[in-house]
């Protein structure tokens, strides 16, 4: 690996301003890493010419003294974000050949702040998956391997390409999205930092929709500070998205070194699920001790409706997906499979264009929205969602500043390990993360340790709405205590 690609985003900014290297040199170093790591399948489209042109512009601005906040920082972009004139297919065959004529708000803000686009990152098709194995472009391979083993592992999903690319030094940071854990779970599987902001903190305009009331964009980075830097550029109100919030975006870096002394951190008893591995339980206890050592008070709390979150989520999310994916019909863009008439064309296009998991969720969603089942399933799930939100509101009203939980129920598992299992077993990977989306709250996954086999594990912190600074503050405390973890290069 090139030494330049080991630099954090904060260090890149310092190095470029000090003229220790150029943005073009940095970009070339990342492009070389990407070429050497194609076996990880993290990128579905590389944009070297565009990257070098953007880097050259960054060098000109640095020389002129007009550098912007992210000047020259090379980023990877999840394939769910529309990028003008560049492959944007949400990991699906049904959007074959789609190159938007517009830019998503989040990526436009990153480019306006001087970031450089290296390419589009692999992902589970339409963000539906927890292992990055449902992508039309094949699975992403986790850059981590168990000690003494060469077995290939999943990077988590749906933002598996984003997490793997950041961990393997194929980009300095990446955009990602989180509908039920799709930022935090892959971050935990790859020893990266993943932030799911408050619903409405980042614009959804130009991001391919999965479940519109749950989807939220966020960053994956190598450090808590880097995640804070990226989120500041990604966040903000957008008149083009009615669900984006008119809330000021703070300087997240300013909160990083405040420490946790005097904070009250909640530990929910309902997150101790049956069959929790001893390694997860031990890590959770270690996290409590780290925060206590920093001066925080640990408080046992109850979130009684947690047990209903996963089944409610897997009603609400597929229902919204069923509605959102109805637009893919082969008429205006993407794949088209000719048929005898327009109905036949619709059917053949969707049959050929959608993968198995997407079809499964569309069918579930269509079923729960159908006449006779809407009240029994969808309405009841939305009522449960309200109760979950009230649980969090009550706890925070009682003076809790943040909540500490595991990020995942296990470390990364093997490619195809779930192939013969029930889909429900895969869905259980989201058991610790879906509550955050159902309540619209912010969450962060921070690397916190390794299993006996040498695989990463992460801890999750959950905050009040729009209190991301508290998550960066508490997450930095865990990061400081746990240290940093990097995979052995084997690819």
pLDDT at 457 over 70: yes
Q: Which of 182, 203, 233, 410 is catalytic?
A: 182
- Per the annotation, the verdict on 130 as an active-site residue is no
- Per the annotation, the verdict on 39 as an active-site residue is no
What does the pLDDT read at residue 428?
A: 80
Give 483: exposed, middle or buried? Use CB within 10 Å, 0-12, 13-18, 19+.
Answer: exposed
417 band by pLDDT with thresholds 50, 70 and 90: confident
Measured over the CA atoms of residue 368, residue 160, residue 28 and residue 110, the dihedral's sign is positive
Q: Which of 158, 162, 203, 322 is catalytic?
A: 158
pTM for the model stands at: 0.96
Half-sphere exposure of 68 (CA within 13 A, CB side): 20
Are residues 216 and 89 in contact, defined by beta-carbon separation less than 8 angstroms? no
Rg over CA atoms, the chain: 21
Q: What angle do CA 78, 437, 96 make, to 5 degrees?
A: 30
Q: What angle separates helix 356-368 from helix 309-324, to the nearest 10 degrees?
A: 100
Q: 38-91 pLDDT, tens per residue?
A: 999 999 999 999 999 999 999 999 999 999 999 999 999 999 999 999 999 999
- Per the annotation, the verdict on 158 as an active-site residue is yes
- CA 132 to mean position of chain CA atoms: 12
1 band by pLDDT with thresholds 50, 70 and 90: very low
> Which domains does the chain possess?
3-256+410-482 (3.90.1300.10)
Q: Which of 22, 58, 78, 464 is catalytic?
A: 78
Q: Cα separation of 144 and 480, whole Å?
A: 22
Pick the closest to residue 465 from 435, 433, 443 (CA basis): 443
Helix (H, G, I), strand (E, B) or coil at 45: strand
């Amino acid at each position: 690996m090139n030494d330049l690609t080991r630099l954090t985003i904060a260090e890149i900014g310092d190095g470029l301003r000090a003229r220790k290297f150029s943005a073009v040199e940095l970009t070339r170093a990342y492009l070389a890493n990407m070429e050497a790591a194609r076996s990880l399948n993290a990128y579905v489209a590389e944009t070297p010419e565009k990257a070098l042109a953007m880097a050259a512009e960054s060098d000109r601005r640095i020389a002129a003294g007009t550098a912007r906040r992210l000047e020259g920082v090379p980023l990877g972009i999840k394939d769910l974000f529309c990028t003008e004139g560049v492959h944007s297919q949400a990991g699906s065959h049904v959007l074959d050949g789609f190159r938007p004529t517009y830019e998503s708000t989040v990526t436009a803000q990153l480019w306006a702040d001087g970031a450089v686009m290296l390419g589009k990152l692999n992902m589970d098709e339409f963000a539906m998956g927890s292992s990055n194995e449902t992508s039309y472009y094949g699975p992403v391979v986790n850059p981590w391997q168990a000690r003494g083993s060469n077995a290939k592992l999943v990077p988590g999903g749906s933002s598996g390409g984003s997490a793997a690319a950041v961990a393997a030094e194929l980009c300095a940071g990446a955009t990602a999205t989180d509908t039920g854990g799709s930022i935090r779970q892959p971050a935990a599987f790859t020893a990266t930092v993943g932030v799911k902001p408050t619903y409405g903190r980042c614009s959804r305009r130009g991001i391919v929709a999965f479940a519109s009331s749950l989807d939220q964009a966020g960053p994956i980075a190598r450090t808590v500070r880097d995640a804070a830097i990226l989120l500041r550029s990604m966040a903000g109100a957008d008149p083009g998205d009615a669900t984006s919030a008119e809330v000021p975006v703070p300087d997240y870096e300013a909160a990083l070194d405040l420490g946790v002394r005097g904070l009250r951190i909640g530990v929910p008893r309902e997150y101790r699920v049956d069959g929790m591995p001893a390694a997860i339980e031990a890590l959770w206890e270690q996290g409590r001790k780290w925060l206590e050592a920093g001066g925080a008070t640990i408080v046992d709390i109850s979130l009684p409706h947690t047990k209903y979150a996963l089944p409610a989520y897997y009603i609400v999310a597929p229902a919204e997906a069923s509605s959102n994916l109805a637009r893919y019909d082969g008429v205006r863009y993407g794949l088209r499979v000719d048929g005898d008439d327009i109905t036949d064309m619709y059917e053949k296009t969707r049959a050929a264009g959608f993968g198995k998991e997407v079809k499964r969720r569309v069918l579930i969603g269509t079923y729960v929205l159908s006449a006779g089942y809407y009240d029994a399933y969808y309405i009841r799930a939305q009522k449960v969602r309200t109760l979950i939100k009230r649980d969090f509101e009550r706890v925070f009203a009682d003076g809790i500043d943040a909540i500490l939980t595991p990020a995942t129920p296990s470390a990364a598992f093997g490619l195809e390990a779930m192939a013969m299992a029930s889909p429900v077993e895969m869905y259980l990977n989201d058991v610790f993360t879906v509550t955050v989306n159902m309540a619209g709250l912010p969450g962060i996954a921070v690397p916190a340790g390794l299993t006996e086999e040498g695989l990463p594990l992460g801890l999750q912190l959950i905050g009040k709405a729009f209190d991301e600074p508290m998550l960066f503050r508490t997450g930095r405390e865990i990061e400081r205590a746990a240290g940093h973890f990097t995979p052995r290069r084997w690819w």
